[in-house]
Amino acid sequence: MSKTAGKMTVNADDSRVNVLIRLVGVIFVVLGIGMTYETFVQARASTQVLQPPVVPVLYLCSMMLVIAGFAALVTRYKGSTQPKA
């Protein structure tokens, strides 16, 4: 969105990019939380499904997904500039 003389104009391409970035951010956060939950459940199961050395790596991967998703949700996309005529 850009402001010119009190009027708001929307660049459709930039809006689509913003929505896509936010959508990818939400997907990453959901995948990270889901991976954390599944790792927690499998690590605490009565039968050892996961090898113990793998658990910290899975937690690290899931936290990286959550952080990347959160960053995608809060960052601002710099819109394209219009050429001056």
Indicate if the pLDDT at residue 59 is higher than 90.
yes
User: How do the domains of the chain map onto residue ranges?
Assistant: 27-77
Cα–Cα distance for residue pair 70/77, rounded to 1 Å: 14
* pTM for this model (two decimals): 0.74
- 7-36 pLDDT tens trace: 666 676 678 888 899 999 999 999 999 999
Contact of 74 with 26, CB cutoff 8 Å = no
